[in-house]
Amino acid sequence: MEDIPGYVAGTFIAIVIAVLGFIFFGVNSATNGKRNLTPSFVITFLVAWIFVVSVLVFDGYFTNLSGTPRIPLMAGFTFVMIILAFAIPRSKSLLNNIPITTLHYIHIVRIPLQMVIWWLAVSKAMPMDVTFEGSNLDILSGISAPFAAVFMVGTRSKSKLGAIIWNVIALGLLINFIQMAISYTPYFYTPTLSKASNLAVFYFPYILMPTFIMPVLICSHLVALNQLIFKKDQSQF
């Protein structure tokens, strides 16, 4: 990991900050900009989560490969939190009021994220197979995100069916990337498949890819689909 240029980590940290910014804007908009503690509480909770994960990284928690795979365990915890967010009426109401455009614009971060993944692959910290030079087409979701936000759910034009299809396809591309990334971790890595394994996610700051960024992007798709399909007030679409 010492051979990775500093700008790679810097770019990734900027992506994390950008995701937090999107979340704050979305939650603040969902509360109609009223003076309450909800946006600050959400961001404080997420920053605390990032801090805990980061401390565990420096403590060597994730590089200990004995026993239960620890990265999937931590990532699984985030998905439990997402399920609870949909199950609890108050948080579900908050999710339903996040601007649909924000839920699409946030996926723009997938462009620089895929660049980071490519840089990591060049540095042999990830296999090239999981980049856009391999079988990972997830960067297309990032490129098309602003078009989906403007022309499918924005004020310029609206296409509810188009937005649903875009979210399903983009979610599928994201899941495909996650599946590939998992298969190349030391838990499942087969040397005959690639010259490099997915080592980057075991170290800071890239541990935040499976434990923060990916869950947030998946949640964004699920919230958007929930609004598009089930929300009774369709005036914003």
For the residues 26-32, what does the mean pLDDT come to? 90
Q: Which range has the worst mean pLDDT, 19-28, 50-59, 151-160, 208-217?
A: 151-160
pLDDT of the residue at 195: 60
pLDDT of the residue at 101: 95
Residues 6+ apart with CB under 8 A from 174: 110, 138, 141, 214, 217, 218, 221
Per DSSP, the residues of 111-141 read: HHHHHHHHHHHHTTSS-GGGSTTTT--THHH
C-alpha distance across the termini of the chain, in Å: 45
Instruction: Report pTM.
Output: 0.91
**Which residue from 97, 217, 223, 224 is spatially nearest to 153, judged by alpha carbons?**
224
Select the highest-mean-pLDDT range: 68-82, 89-103, 106-120: 106-120
Phi, psi of 214 (to 5 degrees): -60, -45
Reply yes or no on whether the pLDDT at 233 is more than 90: no
Note the pLDDT tens digit of each residue in 45-71: 999 999 999 999 988 888 877 777 788
Instruction: Fill in the amino acid letter for 39.
Output: P
